[in-house]
A and B are shown apart, each in its own frame.
Chain A
Amino acid sequence: MTSGGIRRSFTAWAALALASFGGVAQADPSPYQLNMERGASTWSQVPYDLNNISLGVCVVIGILVFGAMFIAMFRFRKSRGAVAEKWSHNTMLEVVWTTIPVIILIVLAYLATGGITSWSDTTGSQMTVKVTGYQWKWRYDYVDYLGKPISKVGFMSKLDTQSDQTRQLGSGMDPYAVKVGDENTYLLNVDKPLVVPVDTKIRFVITGADVIHSWWVPALGWKLDAIPGIINAAWTNITVPGTYRGQCAELCGQDHGFMPIVVVAKSKADFATWLAEQEAQSAAPVAAPAAASTAAVPASAQSAAAPATAK
C-alpha cells in the first residue's frame, strides 16, 4: 500500500468511525465499516446498544489494566535500579477486584436479559413467513397476513446470476462490477427477494430441508439456525422501508458462501399490491383447469381486500 493509500485509508476510517459510532443508521456492509450496524427493526437496537456498552466497559477496564502493566514495566525495571519487593498478598485489593467485576457483570446481565425476553416473545404477530434452508438456496412461504391465510405464495430465492457467474473459479470477471445502482451486490443479491411490509410484527418460522443453515440479516439484529426436523421461531418489525442483505451463517457445504438473503421491506400499501400480484400469479396456472377456478376466487378476493385492511 502506498503512503497515499494509507492516508486515504485513515481518512476513510476516521469518517466511518464517526458514522459508525455517531449513530447514523446504515444498512449492509460498507468498506472500512468498524462497528455493528444499528439495524432497521424495532429490536435491532438491542444488540447494537449491548455491543457498544460492553465494548465501552471492556475499553475502560483494558485501559486501567494495561495502563497499570505499562506503568509497572516502566517503573519496576531492573535497569532503573528497581529492587524487588517481597509481598505477595493484599486481601483488600483482592476483594475489591473480585467485587467490582461482579457488579459490572450484573448490570450487563440485566440489560442482556431484557433483550432476550423481548426477542423471545413472538406473540401478537400480524404475519407469518416460513423460511426453509436448502443446499444452497432459501425458500420463503407466506403463511398468513393480518389474520388471513395466504394460499400458494412461496418461492425459492438463490444467488443472482451475475454474482454466480462472477464467483466461479477462474471466471475472469470482476467482483467490483457486480452492481445494482451504485451499490455493489457481489454475493449479496438474489434472483427473488423476500418481500415484507414495514411496521408489522412478522413471525418467521425457520427450518432446514437437508443440513443446518442459519438465516441472518444483520439489519434485523439476529440470526437463527434452520435445522432439519426442528421449527424455530423468531420475529421482526422493520421500521424503515429498504433492502436489507444477509447471508447464511452456518457452514452448510460447498456453496455455504453463496446463498445470500435479501429482504425488501415495503410500505404496507406497496406490500399489499405485491402480495396481490403474487397470489394472482400463483392462482393463474391453477385456475386454468375448470375445477380449480372456485379456489382462485377467494384468493383474489382476499388480495383485493388486503390493501383496505393494510392502511
Chain B
Amino acid sequence: MSHAATHDQHDDHHGAPKSFFQRWCMSTNHKDIGTLYLVFALVMFFIGGSFAMLIRAELFKPGLQLMQPYFFNQLTTMHALVMIFGAIMPAFVGLGNWMIPLMVGAPDMALPRMNNLSFWILPFAFTLMLSTLFMAGGGPAGGWTMYPPLSLQSDSLAYVVFAVHLMGISSIMGAINIIATILNMRAPGMELLKMPVFVWSWLITAFLLIAVMPVLAGAVTMLLTDKYFGTNFFNPGGGGDPVLYQHIFWFFGHPEVYIMILPAFGIISEIIPTFARKPIFGYKAMVFAIASIAFLSFIVWAHHMFAVGLPMGAEIFFMYATMLIAVPTGVKVFNWVSTMWGGSMTFETPMLFAIAFVILFTIGGFSGLMLALVPADFQYHDTYFVVAHFHYVLVTGALFAIIAATYYWLPKWSGRMYSEFWAKMHFWNSVIWVNVLFFPQHFLGLAGMPRRIPDYNVAFANFNMVSSIGGFLFGASQLIFLGVLIHGVWFSKKKATDRVWEGAKGLEWTVPSPAPHHTFEVPPVIHDDELAHGHVND
C-alpha cells in the first residue's frame, strides 16, 4: 500500500515505534490499542476468575472452611465488577478497536488520541478498585449492584464510586469513538446495510453505552453524597427512597446487560456464515433484531425488581415488555440455525465456540423467559436459578463469543495459526465443565438456595460440590487458552494466509496476515462479492 497518499505528520507510517513505552503507552494506533484492551481484559478475566475459584472453594461443602462471610461478600462483589467492567466490556471494546476499522475499510479509529486515553484510564480505575481489598475495612461487599442502604455501610464506597466513574468515562469515550468511526470513516461503497453484523452490533451498543453510563455515574454519585455529604436521596429517614436507587441502577443495568451481549451476537453472525460457507440468513432481520432488543432494553429494567413490592400494574407492564424480547432473540437464533442449514460446514475452533454459544445462550434465554413470569420469579428471584441464568448468558454467551472471536481473528492479528488441537482441547474442556459448573445451579435455585451466601444447608451440598468441581476444571481449562494464545502469538511455526479461513469474506481478510501497522491508508475499492453481506437486497 502506498504511503505517498498520506498527509499525516506522524513519523510512524513505516511501522510501529521501536521503543516499548512509545509503542504501547503513547499509541494512537487502533491495532495496538485493541491489543492493549484485549490483554487487559485477559488479565482481568484471570483475576476475576481467581475470585470465582475462591467462591467455589468456600461453597465446596457446607460449613465455613476458608474465609469469613464478609470476605466472601467482597469476593462475590469484586468477581462481578471485575468480570463485567474489567473483562467482558474491555474485551468487546478491544475487538471493536481492532476489527471495526479493518471491516469498514478505515485507516484507524476516528479519534485516535481519545482512543489512547479511554484505554489508559482503565488500569488506573481497576488499581483503585482492587486496592481496596488490601485496605483495612476491605473491599466493597454489598454486591456489584451497590444497593443502599447496605452499600453505604462500606468503608470503600468512595474508591469504588471513583473507579466506576473512571470506567464510565472510558466506556463513553470508547463509544463515541466507535460511532464516529462507523458513521464517518467507512470506505466508499461500504453502505450501512452492507456492513458486517459485528459493526452494526457495535454501532447500536455504542449508543446504549452513551445513553446509560451517565445514569450509572449519577446513581453512584448520589450514593457518594448520601454517605459523605449529608444528602438523603436514598435514606428514608431524610425523606429518600432506597428503591429509587434500584430504579436508576437498573435503568442503567438492563441496557448494560445487552451491552455485554449485542457485540457477541455480531461476532457469532460473522463466524457462522464463514464456516457454513453460506451467506447469513436474513441479514436485515438480524440488524433489525439487534436494534429492537436495544430499544426494548430501556423499558424492562424493573424485571430485576419484581420482589421489591412494585404496584400490580408495573409488574404486569414489565413482565409483558420483558417477554417481548424473546421474539427478536428467537429470530436471531432461528436465523443462525437457518444459516447453517444447507451450508457446507467445517468445525474449526471458532465455529465450535459459536455453535456452543447458540445452544447455551439459548438455554440462558429460556431461563430468562421463565424469570420474566412474575409469579414464578417470586420464587426464582435472588436464588441460584438467577445465578445459573446470567452465567449461561454471560459465560457461555458473551465470554464464549469473545473466545470464538479471538480464535477467529488471532491469525490475522499475529500472522500465525494457533494450534487447532490444543484449541479444540480448550473448547471441549470448557464446554463440558461450564455445564457441570452452572447447570446444577438451576436445581439449587429451584430447591431454594439464595444467592450470595457463603454457607448452606446440607440439602444443597451435592449439587454445590458438583458445581465446584465443574468450576475448578473450567477455571483450569482457561490455562489451556492462555497456552494456545502464547503459542499462537509468538511460537507457532504455521504462517497464516491472508484469507485465513476458506469461507471468510469481508475487508479484514484482504489485508496481509499479520495485519500491518497501518492499513487502508488509501480507501479500498469495494467489490460487493468480497463482502460478507454485500448482496443484501438480492
Contact = CB atoms under 8 A, between A and B. Distances in A.
Contact of B452 (A9, A84, A97, A256): A256
Nearest to B463: A32
B383 A249 contact: yes
Most buried by B among A30, A55, A233: A55
Interface in A243-275: 246-258
Interface stretch (B36-44, B320-328, B399-407): B320-328
B514 to A, nearest CB: 27
Nearest to A119: B375
A19 to B, nearest CB: 12
B453 interface: yes
Interface in B364-417: 366-367, 369-370, 373-376, 378-379, 381-383
Interface in A205-247: 206, 210-212, 214, 216, 218, 221-225, 227-230, 232-233, 246-247
B172 interface: no
B236 A230 contact: yes
A29 B459 contact: yes
Contacts of A216: 382, 450
Given A62-B363, A89-B281, A211 B323 contact: no
Given A84-B344, A249-B307, A167 B379 contact: no
B195 interface: no
B147 interface: yes
A88 B272 CA distance: 13
B418 interface: no
Interface string B500-538: 000100000000000000000000000000000000001
A113 interface: yes
B446 A212 contact: no
Interface string A71-107: 0110011110011111111100110011001100100
A124 interface: no
A35 interface: yes
A247 to B, nearest CB: 5
Contact of A112 (B67, B149, B376): B376
Contacts of A46: 375
A65 interface: yes
A168 interface: yes
B330 A76 contact: no
A221 B309 contact: no
Contact of A186 (B443, B446, B457, B538): B457
B373 A112 contact: yes
Contacts of B369: 54, 58, 108
Nearest to B319: A112
B69 interface: yes
Given A37-B448, A97-B334, A102-B327, A88 B279 contact: yes
Nearest to B145: A251
Given A33-B446, A97-B330, A109 B460 contact: no
B344 A78 contact: yes
Contact of A223 (B147, B279, B307): B307
B193 interface: no
A69 B355 contact: yes
A190 interface: no
B382 A214 contact: yes
A29 to B, nearest CB: 4
The contact size tier of chain B is 35 or more
Contacts of A223: 307, 378-379, 381-382
B197 interface: no
Most buried by A among B315, B337, B457: B457
Nearest to A44: B379
Given A251-B143, A257-B450, A76 B345 contact: yes
A287 interface: no
B150 interface: yes
A88 B340 contact: no
A144 interface: no
B309 A84 contact: no
A227 B62 contact: no
Nearest to A20: B446
B165 to A, nearest CB: 23
B1 interface: no
A120 interface: yes
A192 to B, nearest CB: 19
B341 interface: yes
A291 interface: no
Interface in B264-305: 276-283, 285
Interface of B: 62-65, 67-70, 73, 141-143, 147, 149-150, 153, 236-237, 240-243, 276-283, 285, 307-309, 312, 315-316, 319-320, 323-324, 326-327, 330-331, 333-334, 337-347, 355, 358-359, 362-363, 366-367, 369-370, 373-376, 378-379, 381-383, 443, 446-463, 503, 538
Given A66-B359, A72-B341, A253-B73, 9 more contacts: A34-B443, A65-B334, A72-B342, A78-B346, A88-B281, A105-B323, A112-B375, A228-B236, A257-B452
Interface of A: 9, 28-37, 46-47, 50-51, 54-55, 58, 61-62, 65-66, 68-69, 72-73, 76-79, 82-90, 93-94, 97-98, 101-102, 105, 108-109, 111-113, 115-117, 119-120, 166-171, 173-176, 184-188, 206, 210-212, 214, 216, 218, 221-225, 227-230, 232-233, 246-258
